[in-house]
Amino acid sequence: MTTSEETLTSTYSTTTSESEEDKIEDSYGAEQNVNSFVHEMMIQSARRPNDDFELPDFEICPILPDLPGESGSIRKVRDTERAKVNRRIEERLKIYQNRTDCVYDCHVGCPEGWFKLPGMTECRPRLNCAQIKKQLPTKDRYLIGGGGVKRIYTAQLNGSAVVIARVKRFKFNQYLESMIDLQQTGVVAQLIGVCEEPAWPEVVLQYHSLGSLLSVSQLPNDLDLRWRVVMSYLDVVNKLHTQVPRSPRVLCDASRTEITLSQFLLTDDFQVVLNDVDELIAASQDGTVRCNCNIIRGGSEIEENMGCLVPPEQKQCGLGIFYTEKIDIWKIPDITKAILGESEEATDVWNKLYRIHQECKLDEPLARPEIGIVVDKYLEVQQQFNINPGL
């Protein structure tokens, strides 16, 4: 006799003193319990399908050349910066494996509200408006990028390159709150100063000369190097989902591959930090998040106009509709593919990861694996191919 049959049989084995109405009521309750149990077992089974269970294929979201909200002048600036990245990559490749100093997380451990750039021997208080105006005047700033809600400049602060991000007022509070909350986790760019006075408030951040993750297309086809970037990206996602304050946190506006890549920075030692936190939404107590519909749809109500990196559940957007961190899981295969590239070695690794990527792309969010399961599978493949990311 099955568990379900035993449960139902025990339900009907009532004493003769019970009324017929009680029997019917008890039987209905037991049936509901059995259905709930079976439903949960189905979800658990779908979450980790057996290897012989066929899963649907999926398509990768291609990388488009232009970013949303990017004007022609900003695009020219980005192209100029891109041309400089090739030389910088060559320079960093010569030294990154032998570096023992901190590169992007020197500030971790500093008191709250303090910063510490590479080469500094001690932490210092963040810059205020007066200090920013004096030490980083407008005439000494060089435009290197931007978008619909930001303008990005670089300048020199006591011999160290820094970035000044001017953020539109309506986005600034959310942006700054996320930046401050996540400073000690090491997953976001280091915050050096804040000025809330201008019509476009400003933050000063550590400069990463290799630019965004869009620069991975310029990396050599070295599997160890590219895998290093992949695993660092997964580490950021893992921390956002499980370790940072008010986790999980979800990247709501990652609607296309090139948009998502542009939200992360490539550090001088070829690791990853998150830079764009405008729509990095913390989950409520029940673990769900609500995303901005206009961000997801690009201002369109037509599903075909949505970005191809938008998971199925996120195409339904509006009041009372919430998501989980599984929308980030759905995007992992596309980002991994972009980072790995098209070399023969990368293709072999990609093929080995295909099964876990099929699971990431399942339509049912609950059926997708947790980030820890994805990381475990990647580490398994890393061992099988004897990849050495140096992490």
Q: How crowded is residue 58: how many other Cβ atoms within 10 Å of its Cβ?
A: 15
Amino acid at 33: N
d(CA 356, CA 378): 9
Q: 133 and 113: one domain? A: yes
> Where a domain ends, among 206, 234, 252?
206
Number of domains observed in the structure of the chain: 2
Residues 6+ apart with CB under 8 A from 305: 297, 298
Residues 188 and 222 in one domain: no
CATH of residue 128's domain is: 3.30.200.20
Q: Do 195 and 226 sit in the same domain of this protein?
A: no
Closest by alpha carbon to 375, among 324, 323, 329?
Answer: 329
Residue 246 and residue 194 share a domain: no
In a domain, residue 83? The reply is: no
Residue 31 within any structural domain of the chain: no
Same structural domain, 193 and 222: no
Residue 14 lies in a domain: no
Same domain, yes or no: 295 and 330: yes
In degrees and rounded to multiples of 5, residue 273 shows phi and psi of -130, 150
User: pLDDT of the chain along its 391 residues, tens only?
Assistant: 444 444 434 433 334 344 444 444 444 444 444 344 334 434 544 455 566 688 999 999 999 887 776 777 777 887 888 889 999 999 999 998 888 889 999 999 999 999 999 999 999 999 999 999 999 999 999 998 877 678 899 999 999 999 999 988 877 888 899 999 999 999 999 999 999 987 789 999 999 999 999 999 999 999 999 999 999 999 999 999 999 988 899 998 888 999 999 999 999 999 999 998 988 999 998 989 988 876 665 544 444 556 889 999 988 877 788 999 999 999 999 999 999 999 999 999 999 999 999 999 999 999 999 999 999 999 999 999 999 998 8
225 and 170 part of one domain: no
Q: Tell me whether residue 13 is in a domain.
A: no
The answer to whether residues 163 and 280 belong to one domain is no
Q: Do residues 271 and 173 both lie within one domain?
A: no
Q: Do 195 and 232 belong to one domain?
A: no
CA distances from 37 to 7, 44, 47, 350 (A): 11, 11, 15, 36
Task: Report which secondary-structure segment, H or E, holds 382.
Answer: helix 371-384
- Position 82 in a domain: no
Q: Are residues 228 and 243 in the same domain?
A: yes
Chain-centroid distance of CA 5 in Å reads 45
- Residue 6, domain member (yes or no): no
* Of the residues 182, 206, 230, the one at which a domain ends: 206
What pLDDT is stored for residue 55 in this prediction?
93
Q: Cα 11 vs. chain centroid, distance in angstroms?
A: 48
Euclidean distance between CA atoms 126 and 112, whole angstroms: 9
Predicted TM-score (pTM) of the model is: 0.84
User: What letters, b where the CB count within 10 A reaches 16 and e where it falls short, cover 168-206?
Assistant: eeebbeebbebbbbbbbbbbbbbbbbbbeeeeebbbbbb
Residue 342 lies in a domain: yes
How many whole angstroms separate alpha carbon 112 and alpha carbon 114?
6
293 in a structural domain: yes
Q: Say yes or no: 221 and 198 in one domain.
A: no
Provide the residue range defining the domain that includes 367.
Answer: 213-384
- Which CATH number do you get for residue 376? 1.10.510.10
The last residue of one of the domains, among 144, 175, 206, is: 206
